[in-house]
Amino acid sequence: HCSSSTKTPPGPKGYPIIGSLFDLGPRPNQSLAALAKIHGPIMTVKLGSLTTIVASSPETAKEILQKQQQIFSDRTVPDVIAAQPNLEGTLAWVPRDHVWRNRRRICNTHMFTTQKLDSLQHLRHAKVEELVLYIKEKSAKGAPIDIGRAAFATTLNLISNMIFSIDMVDSEFENAHEFRDLVRRITEGGGKPNLSDYFPLIKWLDVQGVKRRVIPAYKRLHVIFDQVIAKRLEDRELGESRKDDFLDVLLDQCEEEGSGFNRETIKALILNLFLAGSDSSAITTEWAMAELLRKPEAMQKLREEIIQKIGFERSVKESDIGQLPYLQAVVKETMRLHPAAPLLLPYKATKNTQIFGFTIPKNSQVLVNAWAIGRDPNHWENPISFLPERFLVSNLDYKGWDFEYIPFGAGRRICPGMPLAIRMVNLMLASIIQAFRWRLPDGTTKENLDMEEQFGVALTKAVPLCAIPYI
Ligand code: HEM
């Protein structure tokens, strides 16, 4: 019987000591997808001394994320993440225990329910209007817009308003801004493969200086959060009226005996939400614009839908999204081809188990290649073409039930920010397409637009998308 097998999944042979580390290359999502074509949908890849199991089909993903989620309930923590203060206060990087469960419940009920999201939508509308205004000013000068940069400043402010009721980036999106640069320094630091992750014995050497670079950024962000928290506590002492933002919720929790929250851990949780939510949503918006600029018929169709349903008289609102099926299909199709977290977040096997007859050893790192699954020709027709129409005729959704499409992961650890991300991306995209026509800068055509990926904490466009708005 297969359950008695002790064979680990097949995989590349690799070299002594380093294993297949150098086969990973700069874009692991792509190289692992290529390896899976040879070795199959569940494979073993030795990365230094870290045994990594990679799932690359809907069936194997379902085993890990759903059927056996009791076993795959912990994470491996990259060194660049472990370098932060109070790691145990995060949501994404703690084992799936009762502390995690409570923290996640608080986030879900106080940030991500429909009711909570609705109650703060006016904030997001205002921030996105600022984005449109900024683009309008630039367009008057005929200047190209760095879409990813502008979207990132916007998502940072969207999240900081939900958490703190303040902007973290000033409306001059272009200005060097400390907060944005700090966040970027951490996400970029996490982008490159770090030898410390694959050779735990030499972690302390920090060979590539990854920790040295990110630690000051973490510390500075904690200081910034601490100042906001101190100010809020002062206001509360003085009896100022509540903001009822997420910070108020967390401070209430801190006052409760045995809640597991305190002033140190909430800083880590807040940082976790910023890091998980801002880049991912901005990048998705940038990829969507890049795909639309490469496919003018799709851009045209989307613009017509927006103009027809909403017109020019008023701005798009989150409550309009439900009436814009093509918009939603464009966003879904973008996330199929360009999932912001192509390998989800790394899981760890908490004990030995079996998947399709192979043994998955305890403590191995387990990756799910959502990027490869979204492009699998066995499950998708014309898998590498951008065809939003495919989502108009199917009920396939990103909510974690359809394992051929899992840009937000699935199971208990599915992205809790999904409903917010969906609103932010749809709203930003619809707003900048309603307000402007767009074209590529001179010399760039839809044929030669560079679509290369850059792998990192989030899967970015290697060459930032610059586009020119006109009325
Ligand atoms: C387009 C935007 C986004 C994408 C594609 C995305 C995707 C993901 C994915 C794939 C995971 C890992 C799921 C797994 O391991 O199975 C994740 C986890 C997470 N995401 Fe998102 N996310 C996005 C936006 C956001 C936003 C806006 C927030 C919050 C403000 C957020 C907060 C988190 C957190 C806290 C986790 C860790 C959950 C846990 O481990 O329990 N994400 N996200």
Between 263-294 and 178-189, two packed helices, what is the crossing angle to 10 degrees?
80
Ligand 1 mutation pick, 88, 272, 415, max ligand atoms within 8 A of CB: 415
What does the pLDDT read at residue 454? 87
Q: Whose C-alpha lies nearest to ligand 1, atom 31?
A: 417
Question: Of 336, 390, 366, 373, which Cα lies nearest the Cα of 36?
Answer: 373
Question: Of 381, 334, 389, which Cα lies nearest the Cα of 147?
Answer: 334
Determine the atom of ligand 1 nearest the C-alpha atom of 410.
16
**13 token code pair:** 């042979």
Length reported for the chain: 471
Instruction: State mean pLDDT over 231-248.
Output: 94
Q: Report how far ligand 1's centroid is from the alpha carbon of 205 (Å).
A: 31
Q: How far apart are CA 41 and CA 391, in angstroms?
A: 25
Q: CB under 8 Å to 82, separation ≥6 — which residues? A: 93
Q: Report how far ligand 1's centroid is from the alpha carbon of 192 (Å).
A: 20
Q: Whose C-alpha lies nearest to ligand 1, atom 9?
A: 408
Q: Report how far ligand 1's centroid is from the alpha carbon of 422 (Å).
A: 11
Q: Report how far ligand 1's centroid is from the alpha carbon of 260 (Å).
A: 22
In this prediction, residue 1 has a pLDDT band, given cuts at 50, 70 and 90, of: very low
Instruction: State mean pLDDT over 234-252.
Output: 94
Q: How far apart are CA 246 and CA 256, in angstroms?
A: 16
Q: Whose C-alpha lies nearest to ligand 1, atom 39?
A: 92
Q: Report how far ligand 1's centroid is from the alpha carbon of 421 (Å).
A: 9
Query: Is the Cα dihedral 416, 417, 423, 426 positive or negative?
Result: negative
Q: How far apart are CA 305 and CA 291, in angstroms?
A: 17
Q: How far apart are CA 219 and CA 183, in angstroms?
A: 11
Q: What is the SS3 string spanning 123-156?
A: HHHHHHHHHHHHHHHHHHCCCCEEHHHHHHHHHH
Which tens digits make up the pLDDT trace of 248-304? 999 999 999 888 899 999 999 999 999 999 999 999 999 999 999 999 999 999 999
Q: Is 415 annotated as a binding residue?
A: yes
Q: Whose C-alpha lies nearest to ligand 1, atom 37?
A: 92
Q: Is residue 18 packed enough to be buried (19+ CB in 10 Å), middle (13-18) or exposed (0-12)?
A: middle
Determine the atom of ligand 1 nearest the C-alpha atom of 340.
5
DSSP tag of 392: T
Which tens digits make up the pLDDT trace of 403-422? 999 999 999 999 999 999 99
Instruction: For residue 314, give Cα distances in angstroms to 200, 299, 325.
Output: 56, 20, 19
Q: Helix (H) and strand (E) counts for the chain?
A: 16, 11
466 pLDDT higher than 50: yes
Interface confidence: ipTM more than 0.95: yes
In this prediction, residue 173 has a pLDDT band, given cuts at 50, 70 and 90, of: low
Q: CB under 8 Å to 184, separation ≥6 — which residues? A: none
Instruction: State mean pLDDT over 128-137.
Output: 94
Q: Whose C-alpha lies nearest to ligand 1, atom 5?
A: 340
DSSP tag of 3: G
Q: How far apart are CA 9 and CA 320, in angstroms?
A: 47
Rounded to two decimals, the pTM is: 0.95
**Domains of the chain, with CATH numbers?**
2-470 (1.10.630.10)
Q: Report how far ligand 1's centroid is from the alpha carbon of 355 (Å).
A: 25
Which tens digits make up the pLDDT trace of 409-461? 999 999 999 999 999 999 999 999 999 999 999 999 999 999 999 887 788 88
3 pLDDT higher than 80: no
175 pLDDT higher than 60: no
Determine the atom of ligand 1 nearest the C-alpha atom of 278.
27
**359 token code pair:** 């043994």
Residues with beta carbon inside 6 Å of ligand 1?
A: 65, 91-92, 104, 159, 272-273, 276-277, 280-281, 284, 339-341, 344-345, 407-409, 413-417, 420-421, 425
Q: Report how far ligand 1's centroid is from the alpha carbon of 112 (Å).
A: 12
Taking the CA atoms of the chain, what radius of gyration do you get in angstroms? 22
How crowded is residue 185: how many other Cβ atoms within 10 Å of its Cβ? 17
Q: CB under 8 Å to 220, separation ≥6 — which residues? A: 178, 182
What does the pLDDT read at residue 418? 98
Question: Of 360, 346, 343, which Cα lies nearest the Cα of 73?
Answer: 346
Question: Of 87, 78, 75, which Cα lies nearest the Cα of 348?
Answer: 75
Q: Report how far ligand 1's centroid is from the alpha carbon of 416 (Å).
A: 6
What does the pLDDT read at residue 4? 55
Q: CB under 8 Å to 62, separation ≥6 — which residues? A: 403, 410
Three-state DSSP class for 358? strand
Residues 268 and 190: beta-carbon distance below 8 Å: no
Q: Whose C-alpha lies nearest to ligand 1, atom 20?
A: 415
